[in-house]
Structure formats: structure tokens, C-alpha cells
Amino acid sequence: MSTQHRAPPAVDRLVNFAEPDVGPEEEVAVLRVLRSGWITTGEENTSFESELAGYLQCPYVATLSSCTAALEAALAYLRLPAGSTVAVPTWTFAATGLAAAHLGLRPALVDVDPATLNISPDSLRQLVGSGDRPAAAVPVHFAGVPVDDAVYELCHAEGIPVVGDAAHALGARDRLGPIAGRRAVADCFSFYATKNLTCAEGGAIATFDRDLFEFVTAYRLHGLDRDAWRRHRVESTVDYDLRFPGIKGNLPDLLAAVGRAQLRRFDAMQRHRAAVVDAYLSALAGVAGASALPSMRAAGSAYHLFAVVLEPGVDRTRVRKRLAELRVGSSVHFTPLHRYEWFAEHAVVSPSGLAVADGLAERVLSLPLHTRMTEADVAHVCAALRTALAEQGC
């Protein structure tokens, strides 16, 4: 620990934690749909699905209103018996576990790997060998870093279907190619405002399973076998059926148009995110009191978050407050699920326990990462972090 103090950075520079990268292309797309006479789910959405499938090199993509809806739809397709356990990492957003709970399934919380904060293969293995053997698993690609091969190998060997929570992982790749249902029955994406590709709200399922795709396209519209676009066309008939109880989870054309515009710029935006990460890794080399989570250097990452681990004894709340005073946004990803009241009362816990997640729960901090950032912004963030840590004796 160093006791050397540096002058704090100038506070006139604001670096938000996240900013949507939208501009003229998105504005033109929205106006086109507004003037088309059809703004809910229709041809624009179909085009978005087709273009996403092409980008992901995946035969079937279905959009939904959120990643949560996508996770629920994929789990519903498995038709698991009520009360079955579903393995999820405790280090994730609440939606990962709640998607299972909405279907009458019981989340089973699994510890994480300290280098990636992805689901721990060893902790999952202990759950599989317990009396609470999971009927399915929902691993999370935290920060856009692909899940460990060992997780898939274990689940495939044990006959446990995998639904991937790829909310952070559009653009991520593993040894088989883009994360898009190659190793899972489906991978589920988010297009929320803070994501690498945004339509403000939205999600999608990517799969190689045609039956799952057809199930999801009905499930997202209450279980109806024809959507409103097909029901309301001049040449349409009134013949349609309700196949099963579903949800209202479709993506409107107005939002799909934003997604299409984003997708056309997505590779360039991803290169920008990678450059910001490289700048962080260089600038943080001399910062005492915090270090980049090891997986921030991982090959194949989608570069969704940039997370640092604070040294033991550093008060994260004070760090965040000081960063805010220096006009730097930050966030926490995540509060482990077992620390929420509902999960503590209703979830199963792997026999391994959750020691890794507990040990890091107050030490992981997410720094700004978005495509409107410059090298000067990265320098400002790191200078502010250095000041905040130095004031705690680092």
C-alpha cells in the first residue's frame, strides 16, 4: 500500500457510467416506422430477427420485450416439473433467478469463479451430486466473458439442459463461434439501455432448435399461433388458435428499428469498447488499492463491463461517493442473489457454499465503459479512482 497522494483530477469533466450510443441512424429508423402506419411487432421486427441471425451465424432468432422474457420463454419450453431446481450463479442480476421462479421452479444458487465471476464448475458439480440436483442450468456470461467449457461439459454429460444468460454477451465468442445457442438450448440477450446494442428495452433468443424457436414466437404473444401483424393484414382471416398460456413479451417495430440501426454499427462500437478496455488496463497498472478483474483481459469477451477488485479494507461506498464528487459514474455488479430476502428464503444453495461471492461482494466495482468514452475519459476515471483510494490510505 502506498501513502503517496496525488492531486485530484479536475471536476469539470463528467464521465457517466453508461451512455446509449444513438444518433442520426437511429432517428431516421424511428421516424420511418412512425410514418409507416404500423409501430408494434411486424415486418421491421422480422427484419431485425433475420439480421441478428445472420450476424450470430445462427438459424433461429426470436426477439422479445426483455432478456427476462427470453429466459422465461426458454425455460418454459423445457416443460420442467413444478418445483424443479434450476442452477443459477448467485453473482447475477435478480432476473436470472426470477425467470425460473415465475414458472414455479426453484432457483439453486451456485458460487462463482474468482477470476471471472462466472458460474464455478466445481460448485455446480457439487450441486449436481446433491439431493437438489438441478433440472436445468442458467449460466451467466458475466461482463461478456464466455462461460467456462467445463460448465457445458458437465451439464451435457449429466443430461442437464443449459439456457444461457447472455445479457452481457452479444458479440462474445468462444471456441465454437459467437455465443448464440451453440452449446446451450438457447442463449438469451438483452437490449436494455446500458447494453452494447440497445433499443431502450428488448431481448432475443438465439437457438439452433426450430421447435424452441416456434414455441417462443407463440409464447411471447400469449401462446397465440399468429401475431397481430398477420391477423390484421387486409388479406388475413380470423383463423388462429391459442396453443398454450404464454406471456405478453413481443418487441415492437419502433424498438426493432433502433436495434437494426445499432446492429449496422455494432462491429465498430465493439472495437471502440475494446480500445477503452485496453486503455483501462494500461492506466490502472499504477493504481494502488484496486486491480482489474482478471477476466477483463479475456479473449472473446463482448467487453460489456469493466470491473475492478478493491483491496480488502477499502470502503467501496466511500470510493463511489468520492468518484461521484469527481464527476465519475460507477456501479456495482452485482449484489449476490443470496443476500436478497426473497432468495434467502426460497432458493437452494449448492453444498459448496457461496464463499467466493461473499468474499467479493463488497469489493467489486464497475467503472464506466461505453462507446462515447475517449482516452481522456479513461485517464480522468483512473485519476479519480487513484484519488479516492489514496484518501483511504492506498
Is the torsion defined by CA of 335, 339, 344, 349 positive or negative? Answer: positive
Give the pLDDT of residue 63: 98
Which residue, among 168, 200, 185, has the nearest Cα to 96 in the 3D structure?
Answer: 168
- Residues 132, 237, single domain; the answer is yes
Terminal CA-CA length for the chain:
5
Any domain includes 224: yes
- Residues 178, 93, single domain; the answer is yes
Contact between 219 and 246 (Cβ < 8 Å): yes
Q: Say whether 227 sits in a helix, a strand or coil.
A: coil
- Residues 260, 271, single domain; the answer is no
Active site residues: 195
Any domain includes 158: yes
- Residues 259, 270, single domain; the answer is no
Any domain includes 18: no
- Residues 229, 369, single domain; the answer is no
Give the pLDDT of residue 237: 55
- Residues 182, 287, single domain; the answer is no
- Residues 112, 233, single domain; the answer is yes
Any domain includes 15: no
Question: Which CATH number goes with the domain that contains 108?
Answer: 3.40.640.10
Q: Among 241, 264, 287, give the residue marking a domain's end.
A: 264
- Residues 296, 338, single domain; the answer is yes
Give the pLDDT of residue 225: 84
- Residues 252, 362, single domain; the answer is no
Question: Which CATH number goes with the domain that contains 271?
Answer: 3.90.1150.10
Q: How far, in Å, CA of 113 to CA of 120, rounded?
A: 5
Q: Containing domain of residue 362, as a range?
A: 266-390
Contact between 74 and 205 (Cβ < 8 Å): yes
Q: Which residues of the chain have pLDDT under 50?
A: 1-5, 231, 234
Any domain includes 2: no
Give the pLDDT of residue 229: 53
> What pTM value is reported for the model?
0.95
Q: Among 226, 246, 264, give the residue marking a domain's end.
A: 264
Task: State the total domains in the chain.
Answer: 2
Q: Among 244, 264, 284, give the residue marking a domain's end.
A: 264
Contact between 244 and 219 (Cβ < 8 Å): yes
- Residues 44, 182, single domain; the answer is yes
Peptide bond connecting 343 to the previous residue in cis, omega within 30 degrees of 0: no
Any domain includes 277: yes
